[in-house]
Amino acid sequence: MKIISIISQKGGSGKTTLAANLAVYASMQKLKILLIDTDPQKSLSYWWEQREEKTPALADVSIKDLEKTIKNLKKDLFDLVIVDTPPHTNETIKSVINISDLILIPVKPSPNDLRAIGNTMSLIKNQNKKFIFVINQANKQANITLSTATELSKYGEVCSSIIANRIDYVTSMISGKTVTEGSKGKSLIEIKDIFNYVKKYLCK
């Protein structure tokens, strides 16, 4: 069982959207997936309650109880656990980082999001964990997207697949779905590419 946590100090960077889309796509690949919602806002749980499909599973767990919950999970019950986290966390997020095999950090290509990166990095540094930036809600042709990728690469690895600003990321979630369900479009390819990109780190 591997654990991916999705972390960003910046609110609205796409943590919940990335968690739901990756989890559903991974379930479609026949992996046994558990989503954990540690955010008191409960956006992921509200989305999940709208779902008709039984997978992925979801558990609502506070950050305080996360370590114990993971410890008590039977290791062969799930292939992958994906943890969605709240924004504006501080020291408490370190316990999430501690139990993770891989951290994904969604970042929007905007000056405000880039300025907030230092806060996220200060929580991750010294923890010796693999982390990958995922650029989200981007205009792929815009200069700001390229400069964001360049700026982020000074801190660490940037996923080569970028998530564009697309309305289906928003509308699919209204009914408890994701872009990977019933879609053959560009957004499905983006999620598939990100999944394949991160998968190689989980196999190590």
Q: Given the rule CB under 6 A, which residues bind ligand ATP?
A: 8, 11-17, 39, 41, 43, 87, 136-137, 163, 165-166, 169-170
Which of Mg ion, ligand ATP, none interacts with 17 (beta carbon under 5 to 8 A by kind)?
A: ligand ATP
Instruction: Kindly state whether residue 10 participates in binding Mg ion, applying the rule CB under 5 A.
Output: no
CA angle 6, 124, 170 (to 5 degrees): 20
Q: Which stretch binds Mg ion (CB under 5 A): 1-9, 12-20, 45-53, 55-63?
A: 12-20
The closest of 172, 141, 135 to 153, measured between CA atoms, is 135
User: Which residue lies nearer to ligand ATP by CB, 11 or 182?
Assistant: 11
Sheet with strand 33-37: strands edge to edge: 57-60, 33-37, 80-84, 2-6, 102-107, 131-135, 157-158
Q: Least distance to ligand ATP from the beta carbon of 11, Å?
A: 4
The alpha carbon of residue 179 and the mean position of all alpha carbons in its chain are separated, in whole angstroms, by 15
Mask 42-81, x = binds Mg ion (CB under 5 A)?
-x--------------------------------------
Return d(Cα 21, Cα 176) in angstroms, integer: 11
Q: Which residues pair with 36 in a beta bridge?
A: 59, 83
Determine contact, residues 11/87, Cβ cutoff 8 Å.
yes
Among 9, 16, 27, 120, binds Mg ion (CB under 5 A): 16
Binding test (CB under 5 A) with Mg ion, winner from 10, 15, 108, 177: 15
C-alpha to C-alpha distance for 107 and 114, rounded to whole angstroms: 7
**Residue 27 binding result from ligand ATP, Mg ion, none, given CB thresholds of 5 to 8 Å by partner type:** none
What is the distance between the alpha carbons of residues 54 and 130, in angstroms, rounded to a whole number? Answer: 31
Q: Which stretch binds Mg ion (CB under 5 A): 41-49, 93-101, 111-119, 186-194?
A: 41-49
Of 41 and 160, which has the nearer Cβ to Mg ion? 41
Interface residues with Mg ion (CB under 5 A) are 15-16, 43
